[in-house]
Amino acid sequence: MNIRKRQVLEHAQQLFVEKGVMATSVQDILTKSQISKGTFYNYFPSKNDCLKAILELGYEETKIRRQELLIGQDRADKSILTKQIAIRLQVNVDHNLLPIIEAIFHSGDAELSAFAKKHHLAELQWLSNRLVDVYGKDTLPYAADCAVLLAGMLQHMFHFITASSYGNIDPTKLIQFIMRRVDEMMPSMIRTNDVLLGEELFHFISMNQKEGNQTKHQLLEDLATFKEQLDNEEQATSEEYIDFLIDELKKESPRTHLLEAIARSFRESFSGTVHEHAARKLASEIWIFVESCSS
């Protein structure tokens, strides 16, 4: 994503928070960003697409930071899951996304509602999978129910704390409190075979997610294309990471632990550059591939 496009997103986000999503017009964004209508529509087909791009950046940052936390770690470590859940809250606060998310849920706009539903289901899908990682394969029939309960507790506790005069609370402490409730719920659900939505919900969530695992062939093509877009100076500083990833992916059995680590170094090498967004996306695709190899 080029610098100018990112600046337009930043100006649009300020307006969405200050004036409200529905009250902000494309003309408002043009005026604040000092760009022409043609430039705006070259970046975004509509105001809704601009709005979705803002939230996608937040979702992408959350996803990448969560993936990086797992590098070299035990997937069953509950403290890692706690930190991963906290990342979502922190990103929303850091980038002031909560007012925009709330506005979308109450907008009545079918396109935005579908967008919000897609990401809400993706979060439940991720949480369901991670609960199985932490509590074991026997919890699979109960994981989706538990994920919905966990997300509901977190949402309402967080809303109460932020809306009341209770004061600030460490998100990690809040999540740890809720995870202790999950510690009690999960064994009880297994013992009594108490399922409400169960695997049917788990299947429904899976069916609504269209993101597939990257194949080695796709990744190799994407990395080669990315490398071609770099100038000589950029290639000199980052070529080692790209070449390593390409060479490793060409092997019959890539060393996934090395792919994880080098993907992070690759992403960080483009931080603050015009290629940052593309590098983040590629790193994320590599981590998705690594996860598919271990599943």
CA distances from 275 to 54, 56, 139 (A): 17, 17, 41
**Cβ atoms < 10 Å from Cβ of 280:** 21
Q: Are residues 190 and 71 in the same domain?
A: yes
Q: Are residues 63 and 146 in the same domain?
A: yes
Interacting residues of 118 by C-beta distance below 8 A, sequence separation 6+: 208, 209
pLDDT band at 210 (very low <50, low <70, confident <90, very high): very low
pLDDT of residue 246: 92
Q: Are residues 167 and 243 in the same domain?
A: no
Rounded CA separation 179/113 (Å): 29
pLDDT tens digits along 79-125: 999 999 999 989 988 888 988 888 888 888 888 888 888 888 889 98
Q: In which domain, by residue range, is 40 found?
A: 1-45
Q: Are residues 164 and 262 in the same domain?
A: no
Q: Are residues 174 and 220 in the same domain?
A: no
Last residue of a domain, one of 212, 246, 262: 212
Phi/psi-derived region of residue 89, left when phi > 0, alpha when psi is between -120 and 50, beta in every other case: alpha
Q: Which of 46-50, 53-57, 123-127, 207-211 has the lowest mean pLDDT?
A: 207-211
pLDDT band at 202 (very low <50, low <70, confident <90, very high): low
Rounded CA separation 246/265 (Å): 14
Does the pTM surpass 0.95? The reply is no
| C-beta pairs of 60-65 under 8 Å, 24+ apart in sequence | 60/280, 60/281, 60/284, 61/91, 61/95, 61/280, 62/87, 62/88, 62/91, 63/284, 64/267, 64/280, 64/283, 64/284, 64/287, 65/91
Rounded CA separation 44/132 (Å): 39
Handedness of CA 185, 191, 196, 197 (dihedral sign): positive
Question: Count of domains in the chain?
Answer: 3
Of 6-15, 223-232, 264-273, which has the strongest mean pLDDT?
Answer: 6-15
Q: Are residues 41 and 1 in the same domain?
A: yes
Last residue of a domain, one of 185, 212, 239: 212
Last residue of a domain, one of 196, 212, 228: 212
pLDDT over threshold 60, residue 211: no
Residues in the chain: 295
Q: Are residues 1 and 55 in the same domain?
A: no
Mean pLDDT of 236-243: 82
Q: Are residues 207 and 160 in the same domain?
A: yes
Q: Are residues 148 and 56 in the same domain?
A: yes
Residue with tokens 């994320």: 284
